[in-house]
Amino acid sequence: MKENCRHLIFPVVYLGVASIVAFLSCAKSDSTQPDNSIDNIQRDIDSISSDMDGIEGENPPPCGAGGSCSTGQTCCPDNRCYNLTNDPSNCGECGNSCFPKGNMCIAGNCSCNGAAPCRNEGDICCISGGCLNPMYDSNNCGECGRKCNDGEPCIGGICGGSCETIGCPEIPRGRSECRDGVCVISACDEGWADGDGNFANGCECEVTVQDNGGPNCNAAYDLGALHDTEPGENRVIEGFCSSLAPEDWYTFEAIDDEDTTCDNFHVDIRFLSNPGRSYVFDVKTASCTTGTLVCEKDTVYVMAVDTRQEESENVYWGECPCSPNPAPNANLCTDNSSRFYVVVKLAEGANPTGCEPYRIEISNGKYNYSP
């Protein structure tokens, strides 16, 4: 019998989201460098909001009884002229402010850093971070640009606050709770999952597959029996692991049908789709409690006897050919049937790429042994 399990070392990858904001800095007459800090950029945007169509430092031109607006501008009820295509305080119509869900107006539509405006209740738009909840964002605590000390949580818009007294906010498509003074995702709505562990965006992944994997070995989803008689049998399964459901357990019985000339027993477990190589699996045989761990943190597993290979001088392994009784140039045909347990999980330090599910094939007798 031949078993093959290649151990996978997965590098720790830290993922982040970057927002790119273009802005214009006018050089001063002296050699002073422009202040491009987050707070100063935010002030620049606020200034642009009020000065978009006028001369820097002046109010928008008057209109109505006091005059008329230039081409491309509209006279609003405050008797001021505004360009409704790019004024974030009068975006698309007079008085329609993009703040705090957006910070700019593009072609009469509010935008957050060039993307769609914020949708979730409680979110505001910041240059650094985009749409976020300032009540619980440690990089923008209480307002854009206010950063808490390393390791210090932001609760209720206060650095170092505690959800034990303030409580936790609602999250998109899920439920939250306070644990040890920190807000965490406690559950996701049906059909949704938390793929990135980010509390602020809640359960962001729509699960589009029927994930039947069990939560532990004793509750493993039974795929049934897989016989090795040609052309063999297989099962293709899909799933999605997350911080709330980090493991999917499956079990099956690999059946070694009776043979007299060649044993086709060949168990093969492989990923058909592994987004970002984020997933690995372990394989156990026999039972959950006393079984043998035959494969750990790998992406391919093979247990096969459908060959005849020389192991040492005049010693061969494999059962193809084989014989029910001792015979020259053939090993005995034996029953290799076994119960298997497979657990699919995220590799250490990995997150699913986007919200794409994994696909894995489990078969017996489908593939031929290849050294």
Tens of pLDDT, residue by residue over 99-125, are 999 999 999 999 999 999 998 878 899
- My answer on whether 175 and 257 are in the same domain is no
More confident residue, 283 or 206: 283
Res 225: pLDDT = 98
pLDDT band of residue 162 (cuts 50, 70, 90) is confident
Report the predicted TM-score, pTM, of the whole model to 2 decimal places.
0.62
CA–CA gap between residue 205 and residue 181 (Å, rounded): 26
| Residue predicted with more confidence, 90 or 244 | 90
Considering the domain architecture, whether residues 360 and 216 belong to the same structural domain is answered as: yes
Q: Please report the pLDDT score of residue 281 as a whole number.
A: 98
Q: Domain for residue 370, yes or no?
A: no
Q: Are 240 and 209 in contact (CB under 8 A)?
A: yes
Full DSSP string of 118-187: P-STT-EEETTTEEE-TTS-TTSSSSTT-PPPTT--EETTEET--HHHH----BTTEEEEEETTEEEEEE
Give mean pLDDT, residues 66-92: 91
Q: How far apart are CA 275 and CA 74, in angstroms?
A: 51
Collapsed DSSP state (helix, strand, coil) of residue 66? helix
The residue count for the chain: 371
More reliable by pLDDT, 44 or 128: 128
Tokens representing residue 187 in the block: 């559950």
Q: Higher-confidence residue: 31 or 311?
A: 311
Q: Is residue 125 part of a domain?
A: yes
65 within some domain: no
Say if residue 103 is in the same domain as residue 46.
Answer: yes
Please give the pLDDT value at position 1.
67
CA–CA distance, 308 with 256 (Å, rounded to integer): 17
pLDDT in tens, 331-346: 999 999 999 999 999 9
Residues 100, 224, single domain; the answer is no
Label residue 211 by pLDDT band (50, 70, 90).
confident
Identify whether residues 189 and 326 lie together within a single domain: no
Annotate 10-31 with b (16+ C-beta within 10 A) or e (fewer).
Answer: eeeeeeeeeeeeeeeeeeeeee
pLDDT category, 354, cuts 50, 70, 90?
low
Residue 319 falls inside a structural domain: yes
Q: Does 334 lie in the same domain as 220? A: yes
- Indicate whether 371 belongs to any domain: no
Of residues 16 and 152, more confidently modeled = 152
In a domain, 251, yes or no: yes
332 domain-assigned: yes
Q: Which of 93-97, 227-231, 235-239, 347-351 has the lowest mean pLDDT?
A: 347-351
Residue 164 has pLDDT above 80, yes or no: yes
How big is the CA angle at 298 (ends 296 and 301), to the nearest 5 degrees?
90
Could you list the residue range(s) of the whole structural domain that residue 326 is in? 210-364
Same domain, 217 and 261: yes
Q: Which of 165, 189, 206 is the last residue of a domain?
A: 206
Same domain, 311 and 250: yes
Please indicate, yes or no, whether residues 159 and 180 belong to a single structural domain of this protein: yes
pLDDT of residue 2: 63
CA neighbor of 127 nearest in space, from 142, 139, 119? 139
What per-residue confidence (pLDDT) applies to 214?
93
Residue 168 pLDDT exceeds 50 = yes
Residues 136 and 238 in one domain: no
Residue ending a domain, choose from 63, 88, 117: 117
3-36: pLDDT as tens digits: 777 433 333 333 333 333 332 233 333 433 444 4
- Is 224 found in the same domain as 334? yes
Peptide bond between residue 246 and the one before it cis (omega within 30 degrees of 0): no
Mean pLDDT for 277-297 is 95
Return the top range by mean pLDDT from 51-60, 154-163, 302-311, 349-358: 302-311
Domain boundary among 143, 177, 206: 206
Look up residue 46 and give its DSSP letter: H
Q: What average pLDDT does the structure give for the chain?
A: 83
CB atoms within 10 A of CB 332: 12
CA angle 175-180-185, nearest 5°?
20
Q: Which of 108-117, 157-166, 172-181 has the lowest mean pLDDT?
A: 157-166
Between 247 and 68, residue with greater pLDDT: 247
337 domain-assigned: yes
Q: Classify 272 in phi/psi space as left (phi over 0), alpha (psi -120 to 50) or beta.
A: alpha
Cβ pair 226, 336 in contact under 8 A: no
What is the total count of domains within the chain? 3
Between strands 322-323 and 331-332, the pairing is parallel
Q: Are residues 253 and 141 in the same domain?
A: no
